[in-house]
Chain A
């Protein structure tokens, strides 16, 4: 466990550097988001639910996003490069960034009964 803690910063730094070169496509990212199953826990609109948190609007920064997706040992299963390329990952992030802000709940009558 201690070894994991020691290595984690180095691993994360490596991931940050790798993703920094990629420029994502929101259009391709929409396809990749479905193909890789992100929708399963986070919803097609990245709105989140009991199975996973919301991913948009305002997704986490790309470096942190990449590090989490690759190395998480939480409730989400990790996506390593063998199953999700750097390019697809960058595209997915670009897609999440493109999603519009949700309406204010105060403006929705059904949420203010």
Chain B
């Protein structure tokens, strides 16, 4: 609850009462303009009045601010500005109207700039995508109840993807004074309870001093690895009431970044000993590289050991053009496997087959040698919660460090250098030669596989991905999202080498991430002069397509190429699978996929949808030969600063 200042001030409730009374008095009392006219020099009555006289006779009295003093929300803006938050994507809501007004008027709508969103999930998704390019968090504002409910899936994705987002929910806590009706429906005792299971921290400040401390603390916690979303409940009263005129002025704490946690020195030494002595060490990375430097460190470690690297793609961890880049199956021959920030270590070293065997639960089997040693460095071990099961199945690990992988890599590299005996160096070099051969052979197989169905209609996902790459390869491109599963072709065929070439996925697999995250990432890339391209799936776009309008409104250039397979294809396969297990013919209901899984009859005309929101768009493209020319047109549009969408009918995967 907001602290009520007993000192002299214009209380917002008493103020409203006063406004009503003053308004009535104004209507009944002759305006003071008569006095002004009486002091003017006499003149013939037929003459027109001077401008000043006319204004005095017809104008209204000069308006004064109805609330004296400095609004509390102005101070909040001062706090926010100290943290260098560049944008604020949000859907407007009355429960934060006071800080909204302060942001755009007092704050000049800069740092942060308000971006108009049409759904709270879109706003969080934009912040999610933005961070993965810029490395800086955004904040969003929402109604603490209905808005936060809309935002939750985006927050869950950010939680699972270890991305900081500062979520501020408006709430009118004082039940004795809050307006009745909608504002009361939109109030709650504890709005943050809704997202507490998948945020790192939350608070409900009750004074301006409390707000400044909480906001800086929230930023600090969100930005300490493992990163994650945080929530602040912002009382409407605290926003609207003026600051105390007397007494100590609240201060703004200085933000000082917290150093990320490093692995225990003994555990680092033991991990290095295992890696140095291994015959076939394999490195697996998921969200290991938080920054471009993380990539460089991983290359250094891999080359030192001549160890193959499986990049699971949570971030851009390892260049796909490097001969040590390896497919997931590379774990099978390993005697030491080190996992760096893996979201699922169990599934990295075990296989699950959904075959209805074992009384329906499927079959588990190991992917690795029985005596393989496992090492893990993961900061998520520091922040595991109980309810949502994003921590996955339990895997026994031989050496486990609750630490940030990127921060630990320098020490691990030095320890490995010390641990490699001279007599092992020749064998390690030989391992590298074998890796080069395996890489070249794998590349040949992948390209041969991509050629299958090359001229098919609908367009094969391999053809679509390579046509897109062909259109952007001369630019400083960034693949900001690849949703809907295109058989992983960009990771298999594109020369992903720079940190911004690949941004990872949603984290929580909450469908609807791709469109807003693409727009948020494209916003960050716009400021860096990069070209953004996304592979946008159909089902994902339809969760909250209003984000297309946000991109057009704020002139965020983005090339979105639709992977339109006209269905929720994962579910197409799931329902087919269950039908087969039960020996029943799947009911297609006149569509291609089982009832409830297709997005056809009618087909969604995404190009028209995008056009209606201010995008340049074209489609549907079903003939692969038409794709290249359409892409060239679209790229030119995006280079001109406008978003463009191509609606491509594609193969399912």
Question: Chain A interface (Cβ within 8 Å of chain B)?
Answer: 34-35, 37, 39-41, 43-51, 54, 72-75, 77-80, 82-83, 102-105, 108, 110-113
Near A by CB (< 8 A), chain B positions 42-96 give none
Flag if B460 contacts A45 (CB, 8 Å): yes
Q: A44-B456, A74-B353 are in contact. Are A50 and B488 (CB under 8 A)?
A: yes
Question: Is B355's beta carbon under 8 Å from chain A?
Answer: yes
CB distance from B278 to the nearest CB of A (A): 29
Residue of B nearest to A75 (CB): B353
Q: In the complex, which of the residues B453, B572, B579, B584 has the most CB atoms of chain A within 10 Å of its own CB atom?
A: B453
Residue of B nearest to A38 (CB): B576
Flag if A37 contacts B584 (CB, 8 Å): no
Residues of A within 8 A of B651 (CB): 43-45, 47, 49
Residues of B within 8 A of A41 (CB): 573, 652-653
Near A by CB (< 8 A), chain B positions 295-345 give none
Q: How far is the CA of A46 from the CA of B449 in the complex (A)?
A: 11
CB distance from A49 to the nearest CB of B (A): 4
CB distance from B297 to the nearest CB of A (A): 28
Flag if A37 contacts B586 (CB, 8 Å): yes
Flag if B576 contacts A45 (CB, 8 Å): no
Flag if B354 contacts A108 (CB, 8 Å): no
Main secondary structure on A side of the interface with B = loop
Q: A41-B653, A43-B652 are in contact. Are A103 and B454 (CB under 8 A)?
A: yes
Flag if B453 contacts A47 (CB, 8 Å): yes
Flag if A111 contacts B447 (CB, 8 Å): yes
Residue of A nearest to B457 (CB): A44
Q: How far is the CA of A83 from the CA of B581 in the complex (A)?
A: 11
Q: How far is the CA of A45 from the CA of B356 in the complex (A)?
A: 28
Leading 6 A-B pairs by shortest Cβ distance = A47-B453, A45-B453, A77-B580, A47-B452, A49-B487, A49-B653
Residues of A within 8 A of B458 (CB): 44
CB distance from A71 to the nearest CB of B (A): 11
Q: A51-B573, A82-B583 are in contact. Are A75 and B354 (CB under 8 A)?
A: yes
CB distance from A6 to the nearest CB of B (A): 17
Mind listing 25 A-B residue pairs with CB under 8 Å? A40-B576, A43-B652, A45-B452, A45-B460, A47-B449, A47-B453, A47-B460, A47-B462, A47-B651, A48-B449, A49-B651, A49-B652, A51-B487, A51-B653, A54-B452, A72-B355, A73-B353, A80-B580, A80-B583, A82-B584, A83-B579, A105-B448, A105-B450, A110-B463, A113-B495
Residues of A within 8 A of B363 (CB): 73
Residues of B within 8 A of A34 (CB): 592
Q: How far is the CA of A56 from the CA of B577 in the complex (A)?
A: 22
CB distance from B586 to the nearest CB of A (A): 6
Spot the interface stretch: B137-145, B165-173, B284-292, B467-475.
Answer: B467-475
Known: A47-B452, A49-B461, A103-B451. 17 other contacts (CB 8 A): A40-B576, A43-B653, A44-B453, A45-B452, A47-B449, A73-B353, A73-B355, A73-B357, A73-B363, A77-B576, A78-B580, A80-B583, A82-B583, A83-B580, A103-B455, A110-B466, A111-B466
Q: How far is the CA of A51 from the CA of B354 in the complex (A)?
A: 12
Q: How far is the CA of A2 from the CA of B552 in the complex (A)?
A: 64
Question: Is B593's beta carbon under 8 Å from chain A?
Answer: yes
| Of A48, A73, A102, the contact of B454 (CB 8 Å cutoff) | A102
Residues of A within 8 A of B470 (CB): 110, 113
Q: How far is the CA of A35 from the CA of B569 in the complex (A)?
A: 16
Q: How far is the CA of A110 from the CA of B627 in the complex (A)?
A: 13
Q: How far is the CA of A75 from the CA of B461 in the complex (A)?
A: 21
Residues of A within 8 A of B454 (CB): 102-103, 108
Residues of A within 8 A of B593 (CB): 37, 40
Flag if A77 contacts B577 (CB, 8 Å): yes
Flag if A77 contacts B355 (CB, 8 Å): yes
Flag if A83 contacts B451 (CB, 8 Å): no
Residue of B nearest to A51 (CB): B653
Residue of A nearest to B466 (CB): A110
CB distance from A88 to the nearest CB of B (A): 11
CB distance from B577 to the nearest CB of A (A): 5
Residue of A nearest to B467 (CB): A110
Near A by CB (< 8 A), chain B positions 584-620 give 584-586, 588, 592-593
Q: In the complex, which of the residues A41, A43, A45 has the most CB atoms of chain B within 10 Å of its own CB atom?
A: A43
Q: A41-B653, A105-B451, A113-B469 are in contact. Are A83 and B569 (CB under 8 A)?
A: no
Q: A51-B653, A103-B454, A105-B450 are in contact. Are A77 and B581 (CB under 8 A)?
A: yes
CB distance from A90 to the nearest CB of B (A): 18
Residues of B within 8 A of A35 (CB): 588
Residue of B nearest to A50 (CB): B487
CB distance from B578 to the nearest CB of A (A): 8
Question: Is B224's beta carbon under 8 Å from chain A?
Answer: no
Question: Is B485's beta carbon under 8 Å from chain A?
Answer: yes
Q: How far is the CA of A47 from the CA of B652 in the complex (A)?
A: 11
CB distance from A7 to the nearest CB of B (A): 15
Q: How far is the CA of A75 from the CA of B576 in the complex (A)?
A: 13
Q: How far is the CA of A40 from the CA of B473 in the complex (A)?
A: 31
CB distance from B321 to the nearest CB of A (A): 11
Near A by CB (< 8 A), chain B positions 420-470 give 447-456, 458, 460-463, 466-467, 469-470
Flag if A40 contacts B569 (CB, 8 Å): yes
Residue of A nearest to B569 (CB): A40
- B258-286 interface bits toward A, Cβ cutoff 8 Å, 1 = contact, 0 = none: 00000000000000000000000000000
Q: In the complex, which of the residues B450, B452, B586, B588 has the most CB atoms of chain A within 10 Å of its own CB atom?
A: B452
CB distance from A53 to the nearest CB of B (A): 9
Residue of B nearest to A77 (CB): B580
Flag if A39 contacts B460 (CB, 8 Å): no
CB distance from B55 to the nearest CB of A (A): 71
Residue of A nearest to B455 (CB): A103
Q: How far is the CA of A67 from the CA of B367 in the complex (A)?
A: 26
- B536-576 interface bits toward A, Cβ cutoff 8 Å, 1 = contact, 0 = none: 00000000000000000000000000000000010011001
Q: How far is the CA of A72 from the CA of B363 in the complex (A)?
A: 13
Residues of A within 8 A of B488 (CB): 50
